[in-house]
Structure 1
Amino acid sequence: LMNRNGMADVWEYRFIEHVRAHNVEHVYKVARVKLADGTFTNTMEHPLKNLGGIFSPELLARLLCLKYDFSMPENRQIRLLAREGIHISNTTLNSYIHNGISRLREFMEDVFKKFVQQAKYLMVDETTELVGVETPEGKAYRRKYLWAFFAKHVKLVYYHYNNGSIASDVAKTFLDHFMGSISTDGYTVYRMYDGEGSKVLHIGCWTHCRRLWVDALPSDRTAMDIIDSIGDLFRNEDLFRTMKLSSEKIKEKRLKLTGPVLERIHHKVVMMMQDAKIMANELIRKAANYTINQWKSLRNILKDGSAEISNNLCEQRMKPVKLLLKNCMNIGSEAAAENSAFIFSLIESCKLNDIDPQDYLKHLFECILHGKDCDKKALLPCFYKSEC
């Protein structure tokens, strides 16, 4: 052997071989028999009766991940399955998929939802989706709203579809027993938590605030004064993150370092609003009014060291939803919208916890199929331990 620096000079050649997956169809012949008491029964029940379809736990988990993790619409799944020897209609596939999700909701949704509601800190956002609804004239597609409640510290996100409503009652009902902090954008619904005596600490998003000033920058360079100061806020946060401070220490540092920056921003904006020439600019006026109107929630960042100064992490949770809608165009019904919301909750929470969503869903389906008496809280993605 040739040597290099006293060691054998060796290396590796690699190549990757694809072993194509295959599906096995199991067929059971079943007869109907008459019992002694005169009643009728079958010689066996359907082996997948508890899943409401013909797909095994592994195949059903795979199909759900293809759609809700990899954003593959069902018409493409039909073509993929046909190449693998499974010929099935779009309607039948859709039925089996939503039957499976309904079983998951019955099994896990209450536990999942309650655990998120018990968190001490939530990031909240909402987005639109096109949903089919029944009208006297037939089916019509309406713009509906989906909410996301992200419990950052336990890495769980719960998507909430409440008849597609954007009304304040949706957030109010979900957070009815919540006692902690929430981070949100500037949507007016959240202003109900800004009143005196609110049990919820409402924290505004400085990224949303900054966007308005950036929009105004091309038309008036004075916006740069505010943008630079907001940049100081984020530089402080980067410093705290680098130092790996506890939430209590972050609160102390924010009072010391961030507090003066906030006062500087407030003073500059108030001075701008007194200048008629500057306020004649519509974009500057919009940014200034937003900052002052949201000031109480924006300043609340000083009261909770565990909270983020930006709601971007929750906004990012909406990207998979929007990507699927871009490929599928719409959701066929409100029942399907509720199912989609929950399967997104499971899959996105798995990804946050570095869990393979397909293995996780397979395990849940096996629990449902075999009627296992298990600790459902231990099956939440934040506690789940893979059996592999």
Structure 2
Amino acid sequence: MSIYTRERERAIVVGVIFPHQTKAQVDEYLDELELLADTAGADVICRIYQEREKPDPAFFIGRGKAEQIAKIVGEEKIDVVIFDDDLSGVQIRNLEDVINCKVIDRTTLILDIFASHARTAPAKIQVELAQLEYLLPRLTGKWRHLSKQYGGIGTKGPGETQLETDRRLVKRKIAILRRKLSEIDNQRKIQRKGRRDIFRVALVGYTNAGKSTLLNALADANAYVEDKLFATLDATTRVVRLSPTRKILLTDTVGFIRKLPHHLIASFKSTLDEVVEADILIHVVDISAPNFREQIKVVEETLEELNSLDKPTILAFNKIDKLQDRSLIYSLANEYKNAVFISASRGVNIHTLKEKISQMIDDHYVEITGKVEISNSKAISLIYKFGEVLDVKYDTDNYLTLKIKIEKRHLPKISSYIF
């Protein structure tokens, strides 16, 4: 029988200050870790810090610090100790032996939140795959927090049922889930092919920046919105009319976060492909966040990992209604060329954002129709490489008539081959 009885767990968060970091930085990281813990259903009772040159191989922190935490755990009736950095299976086993409490790391916490918020079959598959891939190298050791004697944070998903299995069974399950995701990926590719004659715009940004709220404001939609980290996981696409004669497809994507587990990026590839396939990105930034510049950097690093950093991008600074110092808007307007300042929840400057999207389409893209010789494989290859073929007609005189959507900067690369 599970010993877990409380609705919310009592937690300690642990941050280690390494030489390349300041205490202020680690404090910011722990602020976010506390938000993650709150989203997962835990109340953080206290923070523990330790300065170290490098992680201890056995405990990550020093044994003395672990014993100090054990004392607090006993006095405060703590349910879970959460580390802001990834721990190895050996480190977790050793820490749990000393602390006598469930010990998890940041990645386990994020995966747990994803498991709680996954609502559709694709999202559940993606989360389970990420959990198993993270669990696989950690199957050695006790991992008692994944067994049935514990519950709560860090135990949702496949962990409870996989403890008794061996690596071969886990690998087999991973292979099955990858095949299922591949099928989902193929289905989504077919769906995207059917949308090629319309410009696609994707909302990206740090988690809780207001992307879903902005989707609702632009599309008069009713996407799920909650003031918590990772409230939505699935890509949601809506038609948005920019003007009586122009419409776009707007997609809301999963939020990014500092130290986002690589297993999640890999597992959510079919969802994040909406970013890769988009013509334009709207990078939504919470301008009221104290560390919004670092959040911008985290999103840009993730986009770079997706090979999408060079896409035409609008920076939508959201939540201007929460700003105390309005002068920040003017300095950011000078700093960022394609910036728009909005409040998605109040509908402020939404029309300006729509005009900006239309302007970016006009500035960056053109649709052309022309002929090319069927035998000219080099020309056809270049056209498909740099442009998007919206329509193909086979003529009787050995020519193809192609309707192409292409960025203006790439037009000279193909213009000599079509007429």
* Normalised-by-shorter TM-score class: under 0.3
Instruction: Please say which structure displays the higher CA radius of gyration.
Output: 1
Q: Give the structure-2-normalised TM-score.
A: 0.22
Q: Give the structure-1-normalised TM-score.
A: 0.24
Q: Please state which structure has a larger fraction of its residues in strand.
A: 2
- Flag the structure with more relative contact order, 1 or 2, with Cα contacts below 8 A and sequence separation at least 6: 1
